[in-house]
Amino acid sequence: MRRLAVLTLLVVAVPVTAEPNAAERGEKALTTTAFIPAFWTPRAVDSAWKQWGVAAKPADYDAALRDRYGLHPAPYPNDGLPMGLRKARHLFGTGVGADCMMCHGGSVMGTSYVGLGNASLDIQGLFEDLARADGIAKTLPFTFSQVRGTNEADGFGVYLLGFRNPDLSMKPSWTNLGLRDDTCADVPAWWLLKKKRTMYATGATDSRSVRSLMQFMMHPLNGPADFTKHELAFRDVQAYLLSLTPPKYPFPIDAAKADAGRAVFAEHCARCHGTYGATPTYPNRIVPLAEIGTDPVRHRSVNEAYAAAYTASWFGKEPAGWFVDGKLLRWTPGYQAPPLDGVWATAPYLHNGSVPTLAGVLNSKARPNLFTRSFRTGVDDYDRDQVGWKVTELAAPPGADVPPVERRKVYDTTRSGRSNAGHTFGDDLTDAERRAVIEYLKTL
């Protein structure tokens, strides 16, 4: 008996001592490495409240800081910092920087998930306030975000590549590769990547690309050697992203209704979004702009100058021939229909986050046009009826006297890049059919 127990112990112990696999190494790299130097001193985080117009430091400061900027508790050890911020080397010792999870670490039902897009983040306020808290009053070099929960991630790539030679050494002057501030990106969930052959909203990049994941490393203090040094780690990071799975819908699902929804989905949606279950299929369809009809700005935001510079650079020197035209970044006719796994958790919807609920995705006439929300992620903030975030519709856009931090909480679909038009494929369904499809979507 005793011997058996010892044997069992040994068997159980094996996986612990075994070499970690690529995904495990990737998770560790992603949650422990500072791939870019710090932006701020630790003091900046402690004194950010002085930018909030309050008389004293709020009592539960960690929670107040997260709430103010839309950050979430880290579900891994992170030196007491919220997910997305990270200890990193600074010109003057150790400071605080940002990492992938600032945008790619989200929360729903009050639970943090690595890989869920952060739909609460006020990246503009965060960067402005922390710089000011460090005594640097400069405005940001370009707009990081116009609306809370969305960001100008494409602008980051365009802006930063403008400083680089093809080998990623710094250029003496900046080239404008078509920077704009209205692409209004809603961050996609990482767990969808495993199904995709192409990635990003327009499907412009081969999803096997590892170097594309490293664009965020173009901090001015990172030179060519830093990129080559971390490429292997990013291969592991990619393996980790490919291992992620979506959280399950946490409330009861009406099985009969969901079953009816499966049939409607098969008829009206599957040709673009694929099928689910034991043997899933995913067609990886890129739907022409004229057919999808959603906001066109993101589609035209990556122009030829940027594509040429990117292709000529280190980023574009991964195995050739991945795309028919031999490029790693290519023009596509529209937007990629994403897989819908875990879609209940990824509100707001469409590439620009212009539709707060699934009910709105399925009925273009019922979408709110001017709205705000709490940007919190608790059970009370989640709309179980419409499936997505609860919003408050507004009668008029904020006036000129409203401070920027409050303006960014308002989504105005009449602004450039923020249209909520298009994707009308659910409009002709009956209310009962739409309800059934939504019930089915909860099961994915």
Interface residue list for ligand HEC (CB under 6 A): 100, 102-104, 123, 151, 153-154, 156, 185, 187-188, 192-193, 196, 199-201, 213, 216, 237, 241, 265, 268-269, 271-273, 287, 291-292, 294, 298, 335, 337-338, 340, 343, 346, 349-351, 358, 361-362, 423, 425-426, 437
Shortest Cβ distance from residue 54 to ligand HEC (Å)?
Answer: 27
Residue 104 or 373 having the CB closest to ligand HEC: 104
CA distances from 70 to 58, 257, 429 (A): 16, 35, 36
Contact 56, 47 (CB under 8 A): no
Query: In the 8-state DSSP scheme, what is residue 411?
Result: E
Shortest Cβ distance from residue 2 to ligand HEC (Å)?
Answer: 49
Shortest Cβ distance from residue 83 to ligand HEC (Å)?
Answer: 12
Neighbours of 326 (CB within 10 A): 10
Shortest Cβ distance from residue 43 to ligand HEC (Å)?
Answer: 23
**Angle of helix 153-161 relative to helix 304-312, nearest 10 degrees?**
60
Contact 253, 205 (CB under 8 A): no
Shortest Cβ distance from residue 346 to ligand HEC (Å)?
Answer: 5
- C-alpha span between 163 and 176 (Å, rounded): 9
Shortest Cβ distance from residue 71 to ligand HEC (Å)?
Answer: 13
Query: In the 8-state DSSP scheme, what is residue 358?
Result: H
- C-alpha span between 313 and 315 (Å, rounded): 5
Neighbours of 374 (CB within 10 A): 15
For tokens 């997910």, name the residue: 83
Tokens of 238: 């990619």
- C-alpha span between 228 and 320 (Å, rounded): 18
Residue 95 or 348 having the CB closest to ligand HEC: 348
What is the maximum span of the chain, computed from C-alpha positions, in angstroms? 78
- C-alpha span between 366 and 327 (Å, rounded): 41
Residue 314 or 349 having the CB closest to ligand HEC: 349
Which amino acid makes up residue 182?
Answer: D
Shortest Cβ distance from residue 343 to ligand HEC (Å)?
Answer: 5
- C-alpha span between 416 and 198 (Å, rounded): 26
For tokens 């699902």, name the residue: 253
Shortest Cβ distance from residue 211 to ligand HEC (Å)?
Answer: 11
Residue 156 or 314 having the CB closest to ligand HEC: 156
Tokens of 50: 């002085």
In 285-333, DSSP assigns E strands to 286-288
Shortest Cβ distance from residue 212 to ligand HEC (Å)?
Answer: 7
Length of the chain: 444
Residue 49 or 341 having the CB closest to ligand HEC: 341
Tokens of 275: 């099928």
